[in-house]
A and B are shown apart, each in its own frame.
Chain A
Amino acid sequence: MARKSSRDRMTNEINAGAMADIAFLLLIFFLVTTTIVEDRGILVRLPPWSDEEPDITQLNERNVFSILVNAQNQLLVRGEPARVPDLRDRAKEFIMNPMDDPTLSESPQRAIISLRNDRGTNYETYLEIYNEIMGAYNELRDEFSLQRFGSTYDNLDLEQRRVVREEIPMIISEAEPTEFGEEG
């Protein structure tokens, strides 16, 4: 009789008070282990590998916007020293060529940005330059999208984006780097 009543008490009193704590524990554990930090960066598409150097000599010189960077992180744009902050505007002018300048590109479809760095160039400088070129193209595409579709490139649907991409293709050619300033 006494034993039976004690067993009743045992089954009736499952303590649920700690369940909340366990739940919180799990919750916090997952909160801690999940990395919320999103990774952002400049998304590029590398060209396929081929052993022979591409021949760019037959290209019309006016269609090539050549950028050379040396191991001291100095720029040579179309044969003249330049600074990174000017790069975006110069690239935009070169790609669109609004004044029909015979030294700038014939049309955006033919414009080629040629980038060549040294093995001793700082990655930071390289990315800065890449960022400016991407910025130039993004701005041009936005301007074109606004003109044609009345909305920025990000808000267009896939078909409209394709039209914009065909009108202003992003052609960036990267030559094998020179080897003057490789660090030891």
Chain B
Amino acid sequence: MSRFRKKRGKSSPAIQTASLPDIIFMLLFFFMVVTVLRDAEIIVQVTTPEATELTSLERKSLVNYIYIGRPVQRYQHIYGTSPRIQLGDAIREPHDIRFFIEEHRLRVPENQIPAITTSLRVDGQVTMGIVTDVKTELRKVEQYKVNYSARPRID
């Protein structure tokens, strides 16, 4: 009894840990709100068409994305309303695709370069003119493996 009292007197009491989970959850929510996924910075609106003959892309590191669509409302005062090309997180012109592909090739082991796939995420309402320009550029840089991104059709 006397021993117990002595300890309590000499050392500080145990740290209250009951509120620790709350702090952790606060951190968690902070990160959840603040984290911006690189892929999700969408400047152009893309609603991919529906299709049935789908293949799924497996190696994410071997896939690069080209978005084609009309700029979303927020960016329309900068980029206008006609369909544009988005590479990474910026609006680019067709001739920039060359650098975009070359840059991706540098990040991939040499023997896997032929397996690089370009995923075209194109809005269904875009006309083929801009899509053809992109395809032509891809053919010129010998990036032949292309995936027309589409959603599975639910009948």
Residues of B within 8 A of A5 (CB): 7, 10-11
Count A/B pairs, Cβ under 8 Å.
157
Residues of B within 8 A of A (CB): 7, 10-11, 14-15, 17, 20-21, 24, 27-28, 31-32, 35, 37, 39, 48-49, 51-57, 63, 68, 82, 117, 119-120, 122-129, 131-132, 135-136, 138-140, 142-152
Let me know if A48 and B144 touch, CB within 8 A. yes
Let me know if B148 and A44 touch, CB within 8 A. yes
* Bound form: Cα–Cα A51–B131 in Å: 18
Residues of A within 8 A of B (CB): 2, 5-6, 9-10, 13, 15, 17-18, 21-22, 24-25, 28-29, 32-33, 35, 38-49, 71, 117-124, 126-128, 130-131, 134-135, 138, 176-177, 179, 181-184
- 3 closest residue pairs by CB, A with B: A119-B129, A124-B124, A49-B139
Let me know if A42 and B128 touch, CB within 8 A. no
Nearest CB of A to B138, in Å: 6
- If A15-B17, A131-B52 touch, whether A123 touches B124 (CB-CB below 8 Å) is yes
Let me know if A124 and B24 touch, CB within 8 A. no
Q: Which partner residue on chain B sits nearest A49 by CB separation?
A: B139
Let me know if B7 and A9 touch, CB within 8 A. yes
* Bound form: Cα–Cα A118–B27 in Å: 53
Residues of B within 8 A of A10 (CB): 11
Chain B CB within 10 A, most for which of A15, A32, A49: A49
State the majority secondary structure of interface residues on B.
mixed
Let me know if B55 and A18 touch, CB within 8 A. no
Q: Given A22, A40, A45, A126, which contacts B56 in the complex, CB threshold below 8 Å? A: A40
Let me know if A6 and B11 touch, CB within 8 A. yes
Nearest CB of B to A96, in Å: 18
Let me know if A32 and B35 touch, CB within 8 A. yes
- If A9-B7, A123-B123 touch, whether A40 touches B150 (CB-CB below 8 Å) is yes
* Bound form: Cα–Cα A21–B25 in Å: 9
Residues of B within 8 A of A179 (CB): 129
Nearest CB of A to B8, in Å: 11
Other than A28-B28, A38-B56, give 4 A-B pairs with Cβ distance below 8 A.
A18-B20, A41-B48, A43-B146, A119-B129
Residues of A within 8 A of B48 (CB): 41
Q: Which partner residue on chain B sits nearest A139 by CB separation?
A: B53
Q: List 23 A-B contacts (CB under 8 A).
A: A18-B17, A21-B20, A32-B32, A35-B39, A39-B147, A40-B54, A41-B54, A41-B55, A41-B57, A42-B53, A43-B55, A45-B146, A46-B143, A46-B144, A48-B139, A49-B142, A117-B128, A122-B128, A123-B49, A127-B150, A131-B51, A131-B150, A134-B53
